[in-house]
Amino acid sequence: MCSRVWFVTDRRISQEYPQVQIHRALKERCADEDVEFRSLLMDQIVLTISEGQLGLRVEQELVTSYPQVVVVRAPTPWVQSDSDITVLRHLEKMGCRLINRPQAILNCVNKFWTFQELAGHGVPLPDTFSYGGHDNFRKMIDEAEPLGYPVVVKNARGHRGKAVFLARDKHHLTDLCHLIRHDTPYLFQEYVKESHGRDVRVVLVGGRVIGSMLRCSTDGRMQSNCSLGGVGMMCPLSEQGKQLAIEVSNILGMDVCGIDLLQLNDGSFLVCEANANVGFIAFDQACGMDVAGIVADYALSMLPSRLTRKMSLLSVVSSTSETSSEPEVCPVPTGGGGSLPEAVCNMSVGSTSSESDPELAEPSQSSPRQSTAPALPDLPDPAYNFNTLLANEMKLLTE
């Protein structure tokens, strides 16, 4: 079966840096790996149900070969569940593996929805209030008083630090009521003073932290977004911060995401936001990384042919581990060859664990593999370990 990868994005953001770079990386990787690649805009896809079966049409032509993996870049502030998400649901129902999945994107479309998903899992969050309807902002002026002042006010669908305010007191909040748009709800959030003007952006791909960046405001404002003039610099992240970002990514079901953390004076963190359509132009520059290339590599690793190979190797490693845990009797070869080397009777299982930061991992130094098994008299020295060889192969496939 021919392997196919699609890249699907929105016309309104198709020429922005992240989409251009992911398109480039996918096209290059697919050409190198002999994988069929196609790029489409969301509004080019026509969804069909004919004779009870799901189908697709593009530019008035029936699509007969569907992708196994679809990389999605959807502008979360504008995502509509009755249009964009419908397209993604259709692809998912047809058996395509989406990166990110529709539900993961929905979990991040609305900032309060994100917190609803994270609540109850022990994830540290700033206290946050919101409301139903579009015209209840004024009611919340009284309802949000338990949060104290100053209080953070955010549009539930805001992005890039826009439509975020720091209300000094009740009078300031009343003034804001006359200035803001009421087409979407707002949320009211506890102000974290020690993190004013700075946060940590953590980028994850495939559930692994690939890097972290400290973002700082340069004009005294609360928001640290680079799109608003903030500056970013690569920074190390504690194990606690990494594990928190991974937990948030897993709860929300995201393959590729950015998690924004607020750091307290004691070094602990609160989750500020999660981004399913994370931008990374400043991240690439600050950290010297190619996020698009990492996303492309991950997408190709999710192709069924790659997954099958990984599972086959994992099965061999697991089987060998179980076998090696039992007492073994070394057979004596016929033909006068003597007994086998002791190392063959006492093979140990190599570690298959991987670091949470792939960019910090040392490259594998495994020796070239032979195509045929050596004859018994030519067995390697006692340092030879077949299980370690398999483990190294697994590591190469999963990185």
pLDDT tens sequence for the chain (399 residues): 689 999 999 999 999 999 999 999 999 999 999 999 999 999 999 999 999 999 999 999 999 999 999 999 998 877 877 889 999 999 999 999 999 999 999 999 999 999 999 999 999 999 999 987 666 778 888 888 899 999 999 888 877 666 788 888 888 888 877 777 777 788 999 999 988 888 999 999 999 999 999 988 777 666 666 655 567 789 999 999 999 999 999 999 999 999 999 999 999 999 999 999 999 999 999 999 999 999 999 999 999 988 766 666 555 555 554 554 444 434 444 444 443 333 333 333 333 333 333 333 333 444 343 434 433 334 334 333 434 444 444 454 444
Tokens 């690939």 sit on residue: 210
> C-alpha angle 259/280/16, rounded to 5°?
130
Q: In degrees rounded to 5, what are phi and psi of residue 268?
A: -80, 175
**Please, which residues bridge with residue 211 across strands?**
203
Decide if 268 contacts 318 (C-beta within 8 A): no
Q: CA 308 to CA 230: how far, in whole Å?
A: 44
**Pairwise CA distance, residues 214 & 261, whole Å:** 10
